[in-house]
Structure 1
């Protein structure tokens, strides 16, 4: 089989074939009925392009920057744990990102140490959850800073939703002889995945080395998850404290509401990520692309806004940028590439996204990605969702009054092409059909 693939969908098909079902199921994830993960992807297809027929620019500049770091095109690697996907894990992803000129986001739950990942890509952002004691968090930040991480991502968009209608994958806490015997029926049908590890004379490492305390041992993934669940949720004062302790570029990930965006500005963040944790948070939360315009309108002039969730094509990147995102972050898309063909597979995915973005910028008649705007899109009536505009907020753009003004502005600015507006009733596909299409 030709290792090259032409779409992210094909990368996902190959990943499903190569990975044990428990590993693949962990990557698909989602929560409850899976409606948010479905909407994250499907909402992009509701937006159309309004291309020009002539006057296209012979060269296009796709470059931008986020948090002071250059990007050859507006895509960033979202932090995810890639335990058991590929022996090279996040190091392979980091090398691919460096080769394509983009920023790497490294999860504190990752399978590879921050030192190795930063060595592979100096433009790395270290990600942390609010987990453990403040002293433990300071130690983790100090380690990441010493390793050379250029910024910090604080992820707060997970409420530990339980259960999936299609069932959660069975994942062991550690690999020993008994576990290997029990999982043999799951692993043996996927010899290519198994051989990749056996050639290294190793088994998947299910620990979180970036959470290892000084002089201690790295916790298992589930041990780290348990600590996270037992840590009291952070306040906005805690967010400000974390930002101050880091003392450098700081992104708050998980913002979906206007009032939260305004509070994030008050807390002094550098950037915010409009994210619903890839559909792994509260199910029925709207797609991030639906919530992006109001958040970008509220705070885009004060902090950088990126979008995370549902990006599978370069056209999706263009749509997000046109609606106010500085860049997008991708998760599952590069994981499919990693599973399909290691570092080369991640590079393949990034090339697909770049090519699709360039086509969109070309077709809409622009010379730069920064020229994209709502006029380049056909947006159906009622597409956007504005959350938290009626709630009180401190400071920022003027609290509740500022949020209400944002709604009026966003509503006026959104679907610019009135002739192309359509009235659409959104229907939810039956879960079985949605799952079949997703997989």
Structure 2
């Protein structure tokens, strides 16, 4: 044992000698992440660690942010009914999605411009998801390219698509994703136009970010973030060729590039051209869910985009039961929007979701402590889920049913 400790110490000294800044940063990130015990604490740490416009971009939502708050508070209206005298000495979190097993029913959601929180962006998220034994989903609006994320980690990957007005660009994205092993296509259908995110408007948030005296002042007060930003800037969607574009608000860039004419015919066309599974994200009505199934969708993500699009919409968890009942096993159903606790996941599974997607929780972790923070977000939710399932009397996550909630 002493010999192993000596070898470890020698290796650490060598690392410090060859790359002291990198190693110290990693150790600092790990310590900062470990001090966060909940997703709320990761959020608070991120708020301290990144400039306000960057934090608000991840944390904010549309208009009065009613739907964003409702996504979280609606979980309080779901009541758990625990079973007594059940052997929960071993808790099994495994489930199967699209024909493959994952270690826990939590999937990394597609999030845009993740590199603004930390320069490793979606690459760090992918490594964190794969370390947890689950799937990462790369956004069309990602800060890292399809190829970079594929090279960063070799676990399961999905690709999320916004349909652009430039259909040649769409064809290119699909071809690149297929070539680099993204097994499923996730079509997002709730961004016909950009939602009005007033925090971004007040902050003057733009793509790429404008450099002003206020921006420079924010950089001075957040030196750790600034050092990463200067060394490895990730300011624009890496897959869309916007690098040379003029500064514009994110909303105007989205409205200029996204196609608002997308209909069911486009879903049918994508289904015919994509050889793997197709997932439709942004479904909030049972009748739409049924039409997705009729058009060949293999899975549906019940989601209101985290409250970032239409304010005043129902919470995702409120829409879930009717959609799960309507689909009735003909497609897999996942729940996105509002997951902050292990009990939230139990409730989502009980109401018909096979797995949940987490977005902001990972952004908070990334902003707080880079990849270590993203890993911490997964570990917090995994630990909470284990305890919640045990106390609810369900040793296997895949077997929890509607009788567990009301």
Q: How far apart, CA to CA, are the structure 2 residues paired with 1:180 and 1:68?
A: 50
Q: How far apart, CA to CA, are the structure 1 residues paired with 2:174 and 2:214?
A: 38
Higher fraction of helix: 2
Q: How far apart, CA to CA, are the structure 1 residues paired with 2:274 and 2:200?
A: 40
Unaligned runs of 5+ in 1: 380-439
Answer 1 or 2: higher relative contact order, Cα 8 Å, separation at least 6. Answer: 2
Q: How far apart, CA to CA, are the structure 1 residues paired with 2:130 and 2:117?
A: 20
Q: Secondary structure at the match of 1:253?
A: strand
Q: How far apart, CA to CA, are the structure 2 residues paired with 1:123 and 1:80?
A: 17
Q: How far apart, CA to CA, are the structure 2 residues paired with 1:279 and 1:133?
A: 27
1:282 Cα deviation from its structure 2 partner? 1.1
**1:91 and 2:123 aligned:** yes
Counterpart contact for 2:137–2:158, Cα < 8 Å: yes
The partner residue of 1:188 within 212, 217, 220 is: 220
Aligned to 2:17: none
The partner residue of 2:203 within 162, 169, 180 is: 169
Q: How far apart, CA to CA, are the structure 2 residues paired with 1:61 and 1:375?
A: 19
Q: How far apart, CA to CA, are the structure 2 residues paired with 1:280 and 1:240?
A: 26
**1:46 and 2:83 aligned:** no
Q: How far apart, CA to CA, are the structure 2 residues paired with 1:335 and 1:165?
A: 17
1:173 Cα deviation from its structure 2 partner? 2.8
1:200-349 pair list within 5 angstroms: 201-202=231-232, 204-212=233-241, 222=250, 225-229=254-258, 231-349=259-377
The partner residue of 2:168 within 132, 135, 149 is: 135
**Bigger shift: 115-124 or 258-267?**
115-124
Counterpart contact for 1:323–1:374, Cα < 8 Å: yes
Q: How far apart, CA to CA, are the structure 1 residues paired with 2:184 and 2:55?
A: 30
Q: How far apart, CA to CA, are the structure 2 residues paired with 1:219 and 1:69?
A: 43
Aligned to 1:32: 63
**1:366 and 2:394 aligned:** yes
Unaligned runs of 5+ in 2: 1-27
1:73 Cα deviation from its structure 2 partner? 0.6
Number of matched residues? 370
Residue deviations 1:204-263, cap 9 Å, x none?
A: 3222222239xx97898848524334x232110111101211121110000000110011
1:197 Cα deviation from its structure 2 partner? 3.4
Q: How far apart, CA to CA, are the structure 1 residues paired with 2:52 and 2:395?
A: 44
The partner residue of 2:194 within 154, 160, 165 is: 160
Q: Secondary structure at the match of 2:172?
A: helix
**1:9 and 2:40 aligned:** yes
Q: How far apart, CA to CA, are the structure 1 residues paired with 2:213 and 2:223?
A: 15
1:93 Cα deviation from its structure 2 partner? 0.6
The partner residue of 1:112 within 138, 141, 144 is: 144
Counterpart contact for 1:209–1:219, Cα < 8 Å: no
The partner residue of 2:110 within 67, 73, 79 is: 79
Q: How far apart, CA to CA, are the structure 1 residues paired with 2:397 and 2:209?
A: 46
Q: How far apart, CA to CA, are the structure 2 residues paired with 1:65 and 1:280?
A: 29
Q: Secondary structure at the match of 2:116?
A: coil
Residue deviations 1:35-82, cap 9 Å, x none?
A: 100000111122232224433321121101222332101000000011
Aligned to 1:149: 182
Q: Secondary structure at the match of 1:211?
A: coil
Counterpart contact for 1:209–1:218, Cα < 8 Å: no
Q: How far apart, CA to CA, are the structure 1 residues paired with 2:319 and 2:401?
A: 16
Q: How far apart, CA to CA, are the structure 2 residues paired with 1:259 and 1:31?
A: 25
1:337 Cα deviation from its structure 2 partner? 0.6
TM-score (ref. length: structure 1): 0.79
